[in-house]
Amino acid sequence: MAVGSRVLRVKTALFLFSVAQFVGAIVQGFMVMKTLGKGIVSDITIYEAVSVTIAAIIWITLATF
């Protein structure tokens, strides 16, 4: 929004985004790991992870054309 309306330059917006992501990961990242460690999400195998990644690659490739 701010870049499109020319309130911020792209470099400034990317810098602010990077800082916010870094601070969020440092401040709240442990809570995500704590929640996942409780067993809310079941363990997946490498085959499931690879198949989901390949499906996402195919979907994004087809959706961009």
Q: What is the pLDDT of residues 13-22, one digit of tens each?
A: 999 999 999 9
Decide which of 8 and 40 is more confident.
8
More reliable by pLDDT, 40 or 59: 59
Please provide residue 36's backbone torsions phi and psi, each rounded to the nearest 5 degrees.
-65, -30
pLDDT band at 1 (very low <50, low <70, confident <90, very high): low
Q: What does the pLDDT average to over 36-65? A: 87
What confidence score (pLDDT) does residue 23 get? 94
Q: What predicted TM-score, i.e. pTM, was given to this entire model?
A: 0.50
Answer yes or no: is 4 within a domain.
Answer: no
Burial of 8 (0-12, 13-18, 19+ CB in 10 A): middle
Residue 2 located in a structural domain: no
Q: How many domains does the chain have?
A: 1
Q: 26 is in which domain, residue-wise?
A: 10-63
